[in-house]
Structures are given as C-alpha cells and as structure tokens.
Structure 1
Amino acid sequence: MVRTPLTSEERERGERLGLLLRQARGERTMVEIAAEAGISAETLRKIETGRAPTPAFFTVAALTSVLGLSLDDLHATCTPCDQREPMAAGPV
C-alpha cells in the first residue's frame, strides 16, 4: 500500500496536536498516559513528536479522555482559524 504524502497543513496540525498532548500530560509519564488510554507508549511518543500526525480518531478520543481535554478544545487548538467550520448546533 502506498501512502500519499502529507500536506504541510496536515504536518502542522500533527505538531499542534503533539504540543497540546505534551502540555496536557504535564508531569505524568508517557507510559502512564499510554497505559490509561490503552495504547502503546511508542504510539503516544510518535503522536507527541509529530511522527504520527494523523492518528486514528479513537486513539485521540482515548487520549483526550485520559488527559481531561474535550474534543471541541482539541479541534479549536489543532485547526487553523481560517479552516474551522462552525460546529453544528444540536437539538435544543
């Protein structure tokens, strides 16, 4: 299988995601967070360093849950302002 090259925007988004996760992890170890999220420490290391800039949704969801982040905040941080679409309003 041939993987298409990432765009510069995808790489930048991956770097922002990694920075956000490192900041949210604080003093906790990668091993601790990875174990709580049900992923390998190597996977978390790749995400945090930007070597895995497009992780699976469920991996990101597990990490945000363990780190106390919301997916909305993650979206706001990792998506450039000019590319954000307004979130659809749910039922009232």
Structure 2
Amino acid sequence: MPTPVFISIEGARKVLAEIGINLTARQIKRAADPDAYGKRKLPFFVDPIDKRLKIDRRVLLAIYNQCQADAQSNAKVSRPVPQNELAPRP
C-alpha cells in the first residue's frame, strides 16, 4: 500500500485544478468546513501537529473519479448524437 500524501486546502485546490476543476479558495474552504451537523463535504481532517486541515491526495482524486463513474452509469443516453446532427439546419 502506497504511503499517503497529505495536502492542505490550497494543495487540494491545486490538485483539482490539475484535472480541470478550478475552484476558488472560498469554494474549497466551504467543502472543508463542517456543516450544521459537523459533517464535511470532503474528508478533510485536522492535523494533530500543525492544527491545519489536511486530506489525502489519492482520496480526493478517488472521490472525483467515483463521482464521474457514477454520473456515467446513471446517464440516460440512448445513442450518441453525430456531430453533423448538431449543426443548425438552413
């Protein structure tokens, strides 16, 4: 099992930007902050040494990959639409 690589909130924002998900600092902070029930949208944890929020890089990427796989499996696509059908007709 590979060694986990823990990243900060800003590091998480940069990792997501590498895969095309550009979030503002405020958006990623909201995902890291607990809601009224104490649950976070993403599994950040407080580092016991420096008291900052951290997340495992692979876990973060796995969450986004799983969301993409779920979206593909739940899509109702009957057939692919050829590009020429998308062009406006005269």
Give the TM-score normalised by the residue count of structure 2: 0.28
Larger Rg: 2
TM-score by structure 1 length? 0.28
More helix by proportion, 1 or 2?
A: 1
Higher relative contact order (CA 8 A, sep 6+): 1
